[in-house]
Amino acid sequence: MREGWYKSRPGMASLGDMHDQIAATLPRDGKVVYLDYAFTTNVGDQLIVLGTLKFFERHGITIKLARNIHNVEDAGPAVAPGDVLVFHGGGNFGDIYPHFQQLRERIIAAFPENRVVIMPQTVHFDDKAELDRSCRAIASHPAITLFVRDRHSLAIVKPYFGERARLVPDIAHQLWPSLWEDVAQEAGNASSEPLLLLRRDAEQAAIPAAIAGREDRFTDWDVLISRRYRIERAIIRGQYGAARRGVRLYDLDQAYFAAMRREVIRVARGLYRHPLWITSRMHGAILGLLLGKPVFALDNSYGKLSSYFDAWGQWTAPVKLVTSPQEAAEMMEFVHKASVGDESMLWTAYRDRFGR
């Protein structure tokens, strides 16, 4: 399976190619300012950052500077006429995480003369009045392009952005197949247990009864993060104050990207051991796909995963989206009966049962 089925997935390559339309909006002369990248212990967000960096590399796009939420205010004086502001993608365009949305609005309003590109986002607002206010404010910028990663998000923003809103897949697909090549060759000993990667935050949905009894085996991104990475992250953040005063011993953003990459590979190698993945994390599902694993996807609180795979499932297939108690029971029946000793046999059984 490792050299056969995995590398014969043209759909995964096609998802990365679809980002060419983002590249067409960006300059190649060092005028890209990458803003609000995720400074986080969430591996899903880290995958988006690494996918964005891989995208820049693939298209020969040089970053003038990069800043996250903790040092983004320092970027203002460095932004020159002609620079393009590129905002990090993900799932925080909306009112679930208002501090990110408000930061985005504030920066966009401060630079009306600079072109703005927002990388692929999922859009969700609980408050319709806030949706209208925020989208009107951002769409009022005269030179903005908003990329979204599912049709539902596109329908929400289209009335405000018109043709400036475009549909593309998540930028983490840029990591295919390079991440698998980094991870699979040095992964640990295989496990016979499925991975149960289930979110425990503001987007958590009800856990299907079929797997609720396995709660002692549930994990999530925050549990998987190492002490070393947390220390590295804290050290880098602690130096932002000195950097503002002109004391900058090294490039803090590049140091963070390097630490993040090491951590993602370490986490991915641990998860790669599991033959089957069950996850309510969107990037848990995408990471499983990037690593060639059969994935069962459970939705989050507002349908993020179902919207995503409705848009891109024909390229990522097979992914089984579990949407009912009956489907959850069928999933666990398959997990109990699956032969995990032979990857190719496991994939054949999975595709026969759940493939499109």
What is the tens place of the pLDDT at every residue in 205-222?
999 999 998 999 999 999
Does 52 have pLDDT greater than 70? yes
Position 5 pLDDT exceeds 70: no
pLDDT of amino acid 4: 47
The Cβ of residue 289 has, within 10 Å, a number of other Cβ atoms equal to 27
Paired residues of 84 in beta bridges? 32
Among 3-7, 181-185, 255-259, the minimum mean pLDDT is found in 3-7
Eight-class DSSP state of 147: E
- Give the pLDDT confidence score for residue 336 in this predicted structure: 87
pLDDT in tens, 71-84: 998 888 999 999 99
Residue 8 has pLDDT above 70, yes or no: no
Locate tokens 């991915």: which residue?
268
Neighbours of 240 (CB within 10 A): 16
Alpha helix (H) residue ranges in 249-324? 252-272, 282-290, 304-316
pLDDT at 339: 66
Of 32, 43, 95, the closest CA to residue 65 belongs to 32
Report helix, strand or coil for 5.
Answer: coil
Residue 144 has pLDDT above 80, yes or no: yes
In this predicted structure, the answer to whether residue 143 has a pLDDT above a threshold of 80 is: yes
Provide the pairing of β-strand 195-197 with 319-322: unpaired
pLDDT tens figures, 224-267: 999 999 999 999 999 998 888 877 768 899 999 999 999 999 99
Q: What is the mean pLDDT of residues 31-57?
A: 97
Residue 262 CB burial class (10 angstroms; 0-12, 13-18, ≥19): middle
The model carries a pTM of: 0.95
The answer to whether the beta carbons of residues 70 and 237 sit under 8 Å apart is yes
Radius of gyration of the chain (CA): 20
Q: Would you state the pLDDT for residue 6?
A: 56
Whole-angstrom Cα distance, residue 169 to residue 166?
Answer: 10
Give the rounded percent of residues in the chain with a pLDDT score beyond 70: 96
